[in-house]
Amino acid sequence: MEKVIERQGFTEEQLAVLHKDGPRSEIEYRLAWARTYLKGMGQLDNPKRGIWVTTEAGKTLTEDQVEPLRQKYVVDIREARKKKEQAAEAAGADDDADATVADDETSDWREQLLTALLAMQPDAFEHLAKRLLRAAGFINWTIPGSTETGLSGFLLFRKSKRGREVQRYR
């Protein structure tokens, strides 16, 4: 992503425009969709989280070929969605029962996670937070200190100058 930003010459002002209220910029958001489409079109591969590799087809792709491939990909997605909806309608009542069970399971794991997070000692939570931040692409963070009641810090995302203050209190 940094190469695209560098090659396109986006300014800091452009990079600072956030997508809705989210943590990503509008440019990062659009680049994520571009990667998704290119992967679906067979031009990129994503062998591991955060790793994107150009396929052999992608290496020979010309600009004239992009739009027809994109249109075919969009049609394929719509057809797959229709088939999925038709299969869901055919399953009928079974899906309703399964959905109720799935909702219960979802709320169960969320409650378990929240309970586990709230039960953690501040230093254990700080360690977990650092690992999650590193995995999410944050390259620099300052955590001045944790207390019995909370943890606060300042985050810097990748190489941009944008940061965000975060806090966790019990």
- Tokens encoding 12: 């800091």
- Tokens encoding 107: 């709320």
Per-residue pLDDT of the chain (170 residues; tens, 9 = 90+): 788 888 899 988 988 899 987 788 899 899 999 999 999 999 999 988 888 899 999 999 999 999 999 999 999 999 999 999 988 888 875 655 555 556 666 678 888 888 888 888 877 877 787 777 777 766 666 666 555 555 556 666 665 555 565 565 55
Helix 63-91 / helix 93-119 crossing angle, nearest 10 deg: 110
pLDDT score, position 92: 74
Q: How much is the pTM?
A: 0.51
pLDDT score, position 133: 74
Can you tell me the distance from the alpha carbon of 133 to that of 22, in angstroms, rounded to the nearest whole number? Answer: 16
Can you tell me the distance from the alpha carbon of 125 to that of 84, in angstroms, rounded to the nearest whole number? Answer: 40
Residue 166: beta bridge partners?
153
